[in-house]
Structures are given as C-alpha cells and as structure tokens.
Amino acid sequence: MASGFFALLDDIATLMDDVATMSKVAAKKTAGILGDDLAVNAEKSSGFIASREIPVLWAITKGSLKNKIIILPAAFLLSAFLPKIITIVLLLGGLYLAYEGAEKVYEFLAGKKHHETKVVQKNPTKEEVLASEKGKIKSAIFTDFILSVEIVIIALGTVIQEVIWVQILVVSFIAILATAGVYGIVAVIVRMDDFGLKLIAYNEQDNSISDYMGRFLVNALPIVIKGLSIIGTIALMLVAGGIFSHNIDFFHHLLPDFPGILKEFLVGLAVGAVVFIVVSAVLSIWKKIKS
C-alpha cells in the first residue's frame, strides 16, 4: 500500500518536472507572439477616461480569460480529431488581423478615423461613457481571441508529442501566463500618468527628484501610447504575416532571400491591403443597395 502511494508521488513528481521543462520551451516559442500581444492590447486598452481605465482593462481581462476557457478545450479536441480545422481558424484570424492593420495604415495616410462617430464631451454622462467604451472593449476582446488562438496553437505545437496531461498543463499555464502578464503590464502602462502625479505631489519641495520623475512619467505617457499604437499596427501585420507564411506554401516560399521579420510584415501588409479593398468595396455596394 505504502509502496503504491510513493510510486504515485514519484509519477506526479515526474509529470510536474516534465511540465516545468516543456513550459520553459513553450514560453520561449511564444515569447514573440506575447510581445505582439502586449503591443496590440496596450494600444487597444488606452484612450479611455482616467477613472474608467482600470474598469475597462478589467473587463477586457475577463473577456480574455473567457476566450482562453473557450479556446483551450476546443484546441485539445480539434488537435486530436480535426487538426486541419485549427489551421483554417488560424488563417481566418490572420485575415482579420491583416485587415485591421491595413485599416489603421489607411486611416493614418488618409488622416481620418473611421471609428470616430462622435466627439467626446467634456463632461459625458455615465450612459455616454459606457456606450463609448462598449465598442472598443468588444474589439479588444475579439482581437485578444485571435491572438490567444495563435498563442495556444504555438504552445500546443511544442508539446504535441507529449502525453495529454502534459499538453493540458503546459498549454493552460502558458495561456494563463499570457493573460496575467500582458494585462498586468498594460495596467502599469495606462496608469503611468496617475503615478507621475502622485510623485509630483509627494512633497512640497519644488524640483525635487520625485518631481522630475513624476513629470517624466506624465510627459512620457502620450509618447508611449502613440508609440504603442504604431508598434501595435506593426505587430498586427507581423502576426498575420507569420500565420500566412507558416501555413500557406506560396507565402512560405515567397521572398526566400528576405529576412523573416521583413517578409512576414510585407506579407501581412499585402494581404491586409487586398482584404481592406475587398471589404471596403462590399460595404460601399451594400450602402448603395440599402439607399
């Protein structure tokens, strides 16, 4: 009886050791996509009223956790029974990311924003604030879903030869780490200015070290947000281009002499431009039909 118990403990210890080892491998494999995930979601989680930043970020984080709850079981089942479906879902997600990135490029070049439907009032009502947040939260959660699929698939690919329990534990760990790590860092970024103001008010002395640090953080936030917007757009193109390059032979063998990161960006931009043109044409025709 005792020997059986200790054998069980030994099996558990071996399993956890395998999980720890494979988790390190999976974390390295997904590091790039986690960086892209951070850039994209930091850009999407910014631009809200200061008092609503944390509630909005928490809403997006909960949406991200729900995404993982949906994706993880589906990924394990599809990987076991219908592996080709995973590739199709991944490619559809890549089309969406490429389209969103191309739309942002178009908006920058055209000097306009499609999604700005009204001017934000100086003292909006609670209902107006919630209404303005709703669309951006939904967009952020949907983009998180696509990026989460990419993270889960990459992590699953690193442990696909392992037993099912190792697969479940490793991929689930990476998925939780992605949500906690990415949105924890995003929370720090969006609250930079508030922390800076607290440093400025820390003492009554003028031009103290805390004043300099506080002013630096306050002045740096707009630059960081603008930079993240640019990085987020580039990240969308890179993630989309990576999906196409890794799953479609034509793109995989295209531009063989180009550096991988440049090739993926160009592929993402080209596909995004085509999808954007097609979607814009369809929407234009639909508006004419309705009118």
Chain segment 30-69, per-residue pLDDT in tens: 544 555 566 666 666 666 666 677 788 888 889 989 999 9
| Residue 35 covered by a domain | no
Within-domain flag for 167? yes
Q: What percent of the chain has pLDDT over 90?
A: 13
Domain that holds residue 88: 52-248+257-290
pLDDT greater than 80 at residue 278: yes
Q: Which tens digit of pLDDT belongs to each residue from 162-191?
A: 777 778 888 888 888 888 888 888 888 777
The answer as to whether 101 is a domain residue is yes
User: Would you mind telling me the total number of residues written for the chain in this entry?
Assistant: 291
Residue 233 lies in a domain: yes
Question: What region does 259 belong to: left with phi over 0, alpha with psi -120 to 50, or beta?
Answer: beta
pLDDT tens string 96-139: 888 988 988 898 888 765 444 434 455 666 676 677 778 888 88
Of residues 99 and 291, which shows the higher confidence score?
A: 99
Query: pTM of this prediction?
Result: 0.66
Mean pLDDT along residues 214-232: 80
Mean pLDDT value of segment 129-150: 80
How far are the Cα atoms of 49, 129, 151, 269 from residue 171, in angstroms, in the given order? 35, 37, 9, 30
| 1 assigned to some structural domain | no
CA-CA distance, 40 to 84, in Å (whole number)? 27
Residue percentage of the chain with pLDDT more than 70: 75
DSSP states along the chain: -HHHHHHHHHHHHHHHHHHHHHHHHHHHHHHHHHHHHHHHHHHHT-SS-GGGHHHHHHHHHHHHHHHHHHHHHHHHHHHHH-HHHHHHHHHHHHHHHHHHHHHHHHHHHHT--TT--SPPPSS--HHHHHHHHHHHHHHHHHHHHHHHHHHHHHHHHHSTTS-HHHHHHHHHHHHHHHHHHHHHHHHHHHTHHHHHHHHHTS-S-TT-HHHHHHHHHHHHHHHHHHHHHHHHHHHHHHHHHHHHHHH-HHHHSSSTTS-HHHHHHHHHHHHHHHHHHHHHHHHHHHHHHH-
Q: How many domains does the chain have?
A: 1
Q: Which pLDDT does position 178 carry in this prediction?
A: 81
- Most confident by average pLDDT, 26-30, 83-87, 106-110, 233-237: 106-110
Query: Would you state the pLDDT for residue 285?
Result: 93
Confidence bin at 247 (pLDDT 50/70/90): confident
Query: How is residue 167 written in tokens?
Result: 């697969």
Beta carbons of 50 and 194 less than 8 angstroms apart = yes
Instruction: Look at residue 152 and tell me if it is in a domain.
Output: yes
Higher pLDDT, 201 or 6: 201
How far apart CA 35 and CA 224 sit, in angstroms, is 15
Distance CA 86, CA 76 (A): 10
- Residue in the block written with tokens 């990419």: 150
In a domain, 47, yes or no: no
In a domain, 88, yes or no: yes
